[in-house]
Structure 1
Amino acid sequence: MAAKSLLLFSVSLILFLAQACATDMSIISDDEEQMTAMYESWTVKHGKSYNALGEKEKRFQIFKENLRYIEEQNAVEGRTYKLGLNRFADLTNQEYRRMHLGTRPRSALRLGATKSDRYALRDGDALPESVDWRTKGAVAPVKDQGSCGSCWAFSTIAAVEGRDGKCDTYRKNAKVVSIDGYEDVPVNDEKALQKAVANQPISVAIEAGGRDFQLYQSGIFTGKCATNLDHGVVAVGYGTENGKDYWIVRNSWGSSWGEEGYLRMERNIADKTGLCGIAIEPSYPTKTGENPPNPGPSPPSPTPKPSVCDEYYECPESTTCCCIYAYGKYCFAWGCCPLEGATCCEDHYSCCPHDYPVCNIHAGTCSMSKENPISVKAMKRILAKPISFSRQGLKSDL
């Protein structure tokens, strides 16, 4: 009896384990199918297309690896930011850094900058608890630098756009703008940077090469980064959420990255350089004089000169005068062929282009030569217009 019970238990255990293994295999299969569907949806959303043989499969493998990394990092308890399948999800971290980050020689960064204590924090300074220049109309829509390391240009432009704390929509189409120079915010001082950002958007440089930065989606970023400055962005505000201070940073990777193109970075950390080196090289444009005047509308184009047929008739510019009715050596009525340097056909009705000068009147075509079978359709003339009396008088005076 005991042996029979043991046998039944063993069989039941084997069946249970077999079912469990089958379930695990189906989950793995379902995950692969789900990843494939997710990848296809992602490629459509971000407008991705791959032409090289095997490139799509290669990107899919990178996509899956990034997805696994995202799930692992998002599962970390207490983390204040989330990663997501943004536009860089099909890139390795090395590819991302090569394609979307840029570096500048540090010796060249400080040339021309004026050291200033304008925003040095002083006793008695009362700074607002939060600032967001986006809500004040001082920040233009997020731009996309594409696959070139031009972030520094976008950072500078954004700082100039917000220099006076407002966006002048009435002059948005003007092409002339100038600044008198730029000044440095006191370096390695987040309080000085806070004072500066309270007054205007500030250009800053950060290290953005980490994988968490690449795949950032939302929240207050506290990820690992050093101070190898490789990306130019703009600090456009600051605030506090759940007791954690943060900077509002405007990026130049389009609105599909991060929080609609923005990043919130932890503020007031122990390191004086700030998170990712944000306090190392902050600067801002200065402006005391007026901008150059708007050049205004372009002058109108000169009036086209007509083709003069005789003292009484003319044709529009770039057309050819062709006589419609002649008596002896005089023409009493003119037509205009809508081609410059055209050949006037003997039927007094049609005309041919100068590179197809042979008129085939009966066929209504024009040929390059009598021996060449290639032809084009002949053009019709339109009536010439009489020259106005004022123009006749002017011509007589000349």
Structure 2
Amino acid sequence: MPIKAKMAIEIPEKMLAAQVVEFKKPYKIAELPTPGKNLDENDMLVKVAVGSLCHTDGMVTDGLMGTKLPCIASHEGSGTVVKVGSAISEFKPGDRVLCSLTYHRCRACADCLGPEGDQQYCANVGGYLGVTVDGSFAEYEVVDGRECCHLPDNVSFQSAAPLACAGITVWGGLVRAGLKSGESVAIVGGGGGLGHLGVQFAKALGLRVIDIDARDEGLALAKECGADTIRDARKSKEKVVEEVKKVTGGQGADATLNVSDHESAAATRAAVTKMHSILVQIAQPPNVSVPFAELVFRDIRIHGSLTSSRGECKKMLEVVSKNNIKVKTNTFKGIKEVPKAVELAHSGKMQGKPVVLIDEEAIENEKKSGLKMV
């Protein structure tokens, strides 16, 4: 049976949150006024159940994303709707939602007016949660109700939060690769936070998956998630290419996804890609460097991919629900443990994603629902 949240939630005057108050400094844990007293007609107030840490959060704290300070961190959140704006009809208090990081797109530019499945960017977006407006490392957050998605009953808050960015980002990369069931995809960094989701998504879509990773933890996680072949990127590029060709009939992968920001990753990915095929760049290193011989002589196309649309997000959630896709999480309890999550993320030893459990009552209600949660 569907999970029922309490319909009447008393919204406190104050809440706990983790803020970026100074670049290149740790988050500040602070008590702040609860937002949402005067909601825009298209907004919702969400009681955050789980907030997740993403690679981009580090770029925010480094001052690389144009963030105006102070700003509540995290753009990966899931929770329960407690209040809706007057123009929102799709959601009601008590609904479980995945919080979209996109806030107030202009809905007038060419991207916004295209088919819903193509609406991944906006020329005049109002902001991005946890990047340019307050995000999910808080007990409550304001989101754009036109951008969020209902959670399937069997998808837990804990699994859902990382899907708000990591999940939809790697899903968008697979969409742009344009592969058919039975074809092969090489994922460089397939044992990381994005990559282990990409491995499972690809398998659910009927693809053969080759993981190329440079960490023992990453290789182990990719294998655990169902990768058909794992290859160690710490070997020479020539050896990795030789090994990939062995498992692809001498051709190379039908497409590759790069979710590693190592300086050599893009070059390796181009080299293992089949001639005339596509290389999807998802990772965000300072520079993407590919030898011209790989690019020109082998006719490799590079497609940059940032995220994806609400329409694709709905499809992703359906695949997660139907295929019992697991998000590898490292859990921390409460806003005050956000610094510990950051420490683990920077350790180099982490498998999967660090998540902060914020609304423990909502999480307990999931456990009591009797549903087998993913």
Give the TM-score normalised by the residue count of structure 2: 0.23
Which is higher, the Rg of structure 1 or of structure 2?
1
Give the TM-score normalised by the residue count of structure 1: 0.22
